Structure 1
Amino acid sequence: MTTATSRDDDLRAIVDATTSAVTDDPGKAAALFRADGEGRDGVRTEIRIGRHEITIDEPPALGGQDAAINPVESALAALLSCQVVTYRFWAAKLGIPLDDVHVRTEGDLDVRGFFGLDDAVRPGFGEVRLAVDLRGPASAEDYQRLKDAVDEHCPVLDLFRNPTPVQVGLTS
């Protein structure tokens, strides 16, 4: 079992090594992430990301078989997990003791946008809420400082908060 202290030591070593590598060669800061997927039965999608495979589906009300989480649940899961990672990294970087972090995400989606029933309604989330519970011996002020750092640096939170250029190509 990994203790909070050994986890923090490991994370600090990663932060230090990355900082050194990027300082020596800024080109090492660029990372490319890739996913590849195909439609299957109903509206299910089989996705390959590196050596991992995941399935995304919809509930029967949206044409799926409820074989896995749906795309918007996947987005919430990505936000939740990125929050956990970012809290742990920044706690280690700032030297703020953090025993555990629990995150709950929820998002409001109006299906009129997806179904094209009302063009004034966006097809994505209208609002997303995060509830973060930090456990450990640090002060409330330290945890607020940690939250501020996470809000500033969480990659998936940034995706939710800011427009990201997306290029869509079509081949047939």
Structure 2
Amino acid sequence: MNANAQSTEANVVNGLNVDDLLALIEDVKRDTSKAATNWRVATAWMGQTRSRSEVHGFSIGGQQVPRRFTIDIDEPCELGGANRFANPQEHLIAALNACMTVGYVAQCAVRGITLQSLEIETEGDIDLRGFLGLDPQIANGYESLRYTVRIRGNGTREQFEQVHDAVMATSPNVYNLANAVGLKSTLVVE
């Protein structure tokens, strides 16, 4: 081994390779076409209130990345289901929490903050009169979600407040739930 050769170890904080994350940021700054991502999920009815959603991949920077995941969904017995899996509302909240979690981990990692623990608890209320079409004055979904973030690590309170503000400003699912997202439907009757 050459005495002048240097081994380069990855800069890993909170399990994230910070060098790779910073390289992605620089790549997107240099070539905005690398920022384009496309996400797709196909869902099929499985009987009763059960459905199965499948992920086959996504694209980033124009390149397809194969992935394969299955997400099973059901409703509680009280809502006509068999209570075999989490329901769509629980998946929605879980997706919000998971997205914010990634944000906290990444924002802490690029600041050199090592996390010891991170928990996000989110809740919301839905009045079934809206969902069941009994009262058009009642919203058929959440009017608000409340969440508590519990975070611990070697950062200061001020650093964690900055991380929190950055996550709120950049999380895709915070954005998706806090803002109206246009929905464009196509119905195909077979």
Q: Same fold (TM over 0.5)?
A: yes
Matched to 1:47, the amino acid is: S
Contact 2:97 2:121 in 1 (8 A): yes
* Structure whose residues are more often helix by fraction: 1
| TM-score when normalising by structure 1 | 0.91
Aligned equivalent of 2:84? 67
Task: Output the CA distance in 1 between the equivalents of 2:135 and 2:17.
Answer: 47
Task: Give the superposition deviation at 1:119.
Answer: 0.8
The equivalent position to 1:17 in structure 2, one of 9, 19, 23, is 23
Aligned to 2:130: 113
> Is the 1:113–1:119 Cα contact (8 Å) retained in structure 2?
yes
- Please give the alpha-carbon distance, in whole angstroms, between the structure 2 residues aligned to 1:36 and 1:134: 34
| 1:98 CA drift (Å) | 2.5
Other-structure match for 2:170: 153
Deviations 1:59-81 (A, max 9, x none): 12222111100001100000111
Unmatched 5+ stretches in structure 1: none
> After superposition, what is the alpha-carbon deviation per residue over 1:25-83, rounded to whole angstroms, capped at 9, x for unaligned?
11110100000011012010011012001101001222211110000110000011111
Which SS does the other structure have where 1:119 is aligned?
coil
Larger radius of gyration: 2
Q: How does 1:22-101 map to 2 (within 5 A)?
A: 22-50=28-56, 51-101=68-118
The TM-score normalised by the length of structure 2 is: 0.83
Name the SS for the 1:64 alignment partner.
coil
Gaps of 5+ in 2: 1-10, 57-67
User: Residue 72 of structure 1 aligns to which amino acid in structure 2?
Assistant: Q
Q: What is the distance in 2 between the residues matched to 1:23 and 1:141? A: 28
For residues 165 and 32 of structure 1, what CA distance do their matches in structure 2 show? Answer: 16
Indicate the larger mover: 38-47 or 13-22.
Answer: 13-22
Task: Indicate if the aligned counterparts of 1:11 and 1:89 stay in contact, CA closer than 8 A.
Answer: no
C-alpha deviation, 1:120, in angstroms: 1.2
Greater relative CO (CA pairs within 8 A, separation 6+): 1
CA distance in 1, matches of 2:88, 2:31: 37
Looking at secondary structure, tell me which structure has more strand per residue: 2
Identity over aligned pairs, percent: 32
Residue deviations 1:114-161 (CA, integer Å, cap 9, x gap): 101111111111221111001112211111111111110111111110
